[in-house]
Chains A and B, each alone.
Chain A
Amino acid sequence: MTAVLQVEDVVQEYPGVRALKGVSLDIHAGQVLGLVGENGAGKSTLIRVLGGIEQPVRGSVTLKGVPQRFRSSADSQAAGISVVSQEFRQVPQLSVADNIFLGHELTTGGVVQRGRTRTRSTELLEQLGMDLEADRPVSSLTVGDRQMVEIARALSRTFDVLIMDEPTAALNGAEITRLHAIVRRLAQQGKAIVYVSHHLEEIFAICDDVAVLRDGELVARQPTSELDEPRLVEHMLGRKPTTYEHVSTGEGEATDVRLAVRELQVPGVAEPFSLDVRRGEVLGLAGLVGSGRTELTRALFGDLVGLGGVVEVDGKAVRLRSSREAVRHGIFMLSEDRKSEGILPHLDVTENAMVSRDRRSLPWSRRVLPLRRDESAEFARLRDEMRIRVPHGRQLIGNLSGGNQQKVLLGRALLSGCSVLLLNEPTRGVDVGAKVDIYQLVKQLADRGVAVVVSSSDAPELAAIADRCVVYFAGRQVAELRGRDVTEENIVGASVGQTAQEGSHD
């Protein structure tokens, strides 16, 4: 059997970085190949090369026996490679149908055929099991729906090879199941599929083969059936994974409440919130989209102004009219959207970590002016402590992988000297290795006495790190799980509205 797509000895370099160090890979028709690796391993680069967005320094790409030199993404698409990219490339003002056919519009004599565009789009969406009006502007869609539009867009072209870069990152359980069925069907139709995911259970569920990239090299290529999850992770990390063992702090030990919320009325959420978080405790907030937990963290950070109720930090009532005020009162939040609400892309990692630093305890000289030497030393300390993989402190943060960016932001939170830390989806877009590091860092922060609130849609994550977990459904607290009851099953059960009776101790 000859391969549909053959990649041979592809090398790609960026200034100072060798992103791909000679990768060779082939994919057969009807095969689903899982492509895994830590962030920064070179997956995205390989995809950009195959998609024609980047031209490799060396190496060749052969498609159906014909050597290819893609000069642009249009070349790659014309040759038969379709890519579902991780980041949406949509025009928010255009309709769903127009976005699906963006770049290859159905036209007669240069005029777009609106009718055909709409019917074809509706067909494609139905294939994906989506009940979505083709005329709606993309800007009105949820992230999950936009992801589906992106997939429909890839399917709307004729292709032999489909590359899916973390297609399920924004999808819910039912949507994921549907997508997996589609992937299998496409494979049966003889398409070759490259499937990139951080969720290893997905890889085992749908992939025939799995290829592992590490530091720009292909380190393993095996049938999925010969692997199990620990071995795959070992390939990815190049070492035995350090598993995160959750040790729950005994209840009632440390009893001082650091954050107390009483009847906090949040705009857009029907019922008021009340909760307590103790010193050293990690409180999980669970619930589906629309449960109000995101709004709650925003309100606690002064980003949404609460309409009534009381918030106390260390026993003192605080007014939260802006984020700046919240930071001053010892509350810090990291957004789930690292790229648009977290990193300062033009600033280097040191400055990114230092921006929120609490200067009140510093000597006068360093309070007025930031001193380079002092800050580099501080960053070097953070880098070692948090295992941030960055060559030097003057690296721009935009060039780091998601996990390392998140570590820098956690460093920012740490230096803010906060007593309450609100984390939204702390490991979204973060690879397995960094995930464990981040869990450990969260735990360390809690051990130092910070009251940590983790809002996450990832139930296993909450089960791993939360001492206590509050589950919301449509703005109402439906369960409070403690200690041993904080399990994936209980969280998921309560989130979808089942009464997790065995879990609630109130």
Chain B
Amino acid sequence: MTAIDTTPAPTGVANDQGPGRLQTVLHFASRQYLVAVLVVLAVAVGIAKPSFWGGGNIENVLFQASLVGLAACGMTLLIAGGLLDLSVGGVIAVSAIAIGTVLPSTTIGGAIVVALAIGVGLGLVNGLLVTYVRIAPFIATLGTLYLFLGLAFIWTSGKVVPITSSNYRAATTETIGRVPYVFLVFLVVAVAAYLLLSRTHFGRTVRAFGSNERAAVLAGLPVARAKVLVFVVAGLCFALSGVFMAGRLSSAEGNMAMGFEMDVIAAVVVGGTALRGGRGTMFGTVVGSLLFAVLANALNLLGVASYWQYVLTGTVLVVAIAIGARRSAAAEVRGAG
């Protein structure tokens, strides 16, 4: 046997700068199967129950999606960094209670600033525990969840703190046309979080240590600082959610957002952000938040018994993630994992 062929093969290196704009758009669109699911669901429910689109219902849905979504923006940043925060419910409670407490004596703006400052402070606690005391995020924030909740109950002696200022309620629940103000805030925060994650040095550092922490440290990136900071930003997002939740409920109490962290994480994960870190999709998070809100609302409108609502919601969660996992496995045969 002799040589079959020795002619030099073309190098196969294309000279373009990237995979073309149209291609990028198509690639992006092809991955957004969730958008299709959301649209089909909304249309189907609209046909079955026209009241879905009517009256205050759509505002309701958007309001619910925004509360989860605001917190989910922060959570997406954390998960992209391979981190997690379970103390969402605690942060929301403490910041909302702060609003109820200070509101009689301050302006609306002042109260919101206090709440956001508390979000930053509590996020800082989480960040320092995870980064410098080196407790796994899951455990550290589970601990602080109880800690913050305890704080909230002690502060209020377990009572409900009413938000008496009708101006505050009006400001936080106002709508522009049929779109609640909070939904616009949510979209702005989502865009800001997207830019933060994908277009800044900070965001790059977060994705870098989410992808491979050892490598990020050895590349000389400010991993510790960015880790603390991402918890702080997340805390800010949670508190912002608390600001609107307090207005919506016209009150604040320790268990106002009990179990909320799971809704938030579910929205992020269904949106397509994998828990193992390295990347995050803010667009997916927006869609995920909307999907859950529409689904919950649809099940209520259709009169599904609440126990069965759990079953259906759980099924949607599992199926969406299973499809997402299959798709990403097919797309990245030799990818990063």
Please report the C-alpha to C-alpha distance between residue A54 and residue B27 in the assembled complex, in whole angstroms.
25
B220 touches A327 (CB 8 A): yes
Give chain B residues whose Cβ lies under 8 Å from the Cβ of A301: 218
> Whole-angstrom distance between the alpha carbons of A354 and B203 in the complex?
13
**A221 and B1 within 8 A (CB):** yes
Let me know if A346 and B218 touch, CB within 8 A: no
Q: Are B17 and A219 in contact (CB under 8 A)?
A: no
> B17 to A356, Cβ gap below 8 A?
no
B176 within 8 A of A: no
| Chain A residues whose C-beta falls within 8 Å of the C-beta of B4 in the assembled complex | 218-221
- Stretch in contact with the other chain, from B108-116, B205-213, B300-308: B205-213
Selected interface stretch from A193-201, A271-279, A386-394: A386-394
- Is there an interface contact between B14 and A332, defined as CB atoms closer than 8 Å? no
Tell me whether A258 is interfacial, beta carbon within 8 Å. no
Query: Do B220 and A235 touch across chains, with their CB atoms under 8 A apart?
Result: no
Q: Does B55 contact A (CB under 8 A)?
A: no
Contact yes or no, A341 B201, CB < 8 A: no
Which among B201, B219, B331 has the greatest number of chain A C-beta atoms within 10 A? B219
Q: Is the CB of A340 within 8 A of B214?
A: yes
**Are B334 and A399 closer than 8 Å at their CB atoms?**
yes
The complex places the Cα of A387 from the Cα of B4 at a distance, in Å, of 28
In the complex, A369→B196 CA distance in Å? 10
- Distance between A330 CB and nearest chain B CB, rounded to angstroms: 11
Interface mask (B1-30 → A, CB under 8 Å = 1, otherwise 0)? 111111111011110111100000000000
Q: Which residues from chain A contact B3 at a C-beta distance below 8 Å?
A: 219-222, 235
CA distance A217 to B216 in the complex (A): 37
A65 within 8 A of B: no
CB-nearest residue of chain A to B11: A389
Specify which chain A residues have a CB less than 8 angstroms from the CB of B199 in the assembled complex. 369-370, 372
Bitwise, B247-268 to A at CB < 8 A (1) or not (0) is 0000000000000000000000
B215 and A340 within 8 A (CB): yes
Q: Is the CB of A391 within 8 A of B13?
A: yes
B200 touches A238 (CB 8 A): no
| Bound-complex Cα distance A328 to B220 (A) | 8
- B154 CB, min distance to chain A CBs, angstroms: 39
Tell me whether A343 is interfacial, beta carbon within 8 Å: yes
Which residues on A sit within 8 Å (CB–CB) of B211? 344-347
A324 to B205, CA, bound (A): 13
Decide if B135 is an interface residue (CB 8 Å cutoff).
Answer: no
Interchain CA distance A174-B69 in the complex, whole Å: 61
What sequence of 0s and 1s flags, for each residue 55-95 of chain A, a beta carbon within 8 Å of any chain B beta carbon?
00000000000000000000000000000000000000000
Q: Nearest residue in A to B225 (C-beta to C-beta)?
A: A324
Which residue of chain A has its CB nearest to the CB of B214?
Answer: A341
Interface: B336 (CB within 8 A): yes
Q: Which residue of A lies closest to B333 (CB)?
A: A14
- Knowing A222-B2, A341-B214, A390-B13 touch, does A323 contact B220 (C-beta < 8 A)? yes
Whether A341 contacts B336 in the complex (CB less than 8 A), given A217-B9, A347-B207, A376-B18, comes out as: no
Report the bound CA distance from A214 to B13 in whole Å.
15
Contact present for B17 and A344 (CB under 8 Å): no
B217 and A219 form a contact (CB under 8 A): no
Tell which of B8, B210, B336 touches A239, judged by Cβ atoms closer than 8 Å: B8
Q: How far is the CA of A351 from the CA of B212 in the complex (A)?
A: 14
Residue ID in chain B nearest A327 by CB atoms:
B220
- Complex CA gap A215/B10 in Å reads 9
A234 within 8 A of B: yes
A4 within 8 A of B: no
The verdict on A43 contacting chain B, using a C-beta distance below 8 Å, is no
B335 within 8 A of A: yes
Bitwise interface map of A from 362 to 399 toward B, beta carbon under 8 Å scored 1, else 0: 00000011101000100010000000011111101011
Tell whether, in the assembled complex, residue A346 and residue B334 are in contact, meaning their CB atoms are under 8 Å apart.
no
User: How far, in angstroms, from A342 to B219 measured CA to CA in the complex?
Assistant: 8
Which residue of chain B has the shortest Cβ distance to A231 in the bound complex?
A: B3
**B131–chain A nearest beta-carbon distance, Å:** 13
Least distance between B9 CB and chain A CB atoms (Å): 5
Given contacts A341-B215, A347-B211, A399-B335, contact A355 B204 (CB under 8 A): yes
CB pair A340 B1 closer than 8 Å: no
Question: B337 at interface (Cβ–Cβ under 8 A)?
Answer: yes
Q: Mark B204-248, 1 if CB is under 8 A from A, else 0.
A: 110110111011111111100000000000000000000000000
B56, chain A: closest CB distance, angstroms? 41
Name the residue among A219, A220, A326, A355 with the largest chain B CB count within 10 angstroms: A355
CA A218 – CA B3 in complex, angstroms?
9
**Interface residue? B169 (CB, 8 A):** no
B216-A344 in contact (CB<8A): yes
Taking CB atoms, residues of chain A closer than 8 Å to B336 are 345-346, 396, 398
Asked whether A412 is an interface residue with its Cβ less than 8 Å from the other chain, the reply is yes
A329-342 vs B, CB cutoff 8 Å, 1 = contact: the mask equals: 00011010000111
Q: Which residue, B5, B212, B215, B334, has most C-beta atoms of chain A within 10 A? A: B215
**Does chain A have a CB within 8 A of B278?**
yes
Contact string against B for A residues 430-473, beta-carbon threshold 8 Å, 1 for contact and 0 otherwise: 00000000000000000000000000000000000000000000
Q: Which of A347, A399, A416 contacts B220 (CB 8 A)?
A: A416
How distant is B122 from chain A, measured CB to nearest CB, in Å?
Answer: 27
Residues of B within 8 A of A190 (CB): none
A223 at the interface (CB under 8 A from B): yes
Docked-complex contact B279 and A346, CB < 8 angstroms: yes
Residues of B within 8 A of A223 (CB): 1
Contact residues in A for B279 (Cβ distance below 8 Å):
346
A223 to B211, CA, bound (A): 45
Known A-B contacts A369-B200, A369-B201; A343 and B221 likewise in contact (beta carbons under 8 Å): no
A173 near B: Cβ within 8 Å?
no
Q: What A residues does B217 contact at CB under 8 A?
A: 322-324
- A14–B6 Cα distance when bound, in Å, is 25
Closest 4 CB pairs of A and B: A345-B336, A327-B220, A346-B278, A238-B8
26 A/B residue pairs, CB under 8 Å, sorted by A: A14-B333, A15-B333, A215-B12, A219-B4, A220-B6, A221-B3, A221-B4, A235-B6, A303-B218, A323-B220, A335-B218, A342-B215, A344-B215, A344-B216, A344-B278, A345-B336, A346-B277, A346-B336, A351-B208, A354-B204, A355-B216, A356-B219, A368-B201, A370-B200, A389-B12, A391-B14
Given contact pairs A324-B220, A346-B278, A347-B208, enumerate 15 new A-B contacts (beta carbons under 8 Å).
A218-B4, A220-B6, A238-B7, A335-B218, A340-B215, A342-B215, A343-B215, A344-B215, A344-B219, A345-B278, A347-B211, A380-B17, A391-B16, A392-B14, A399-B334
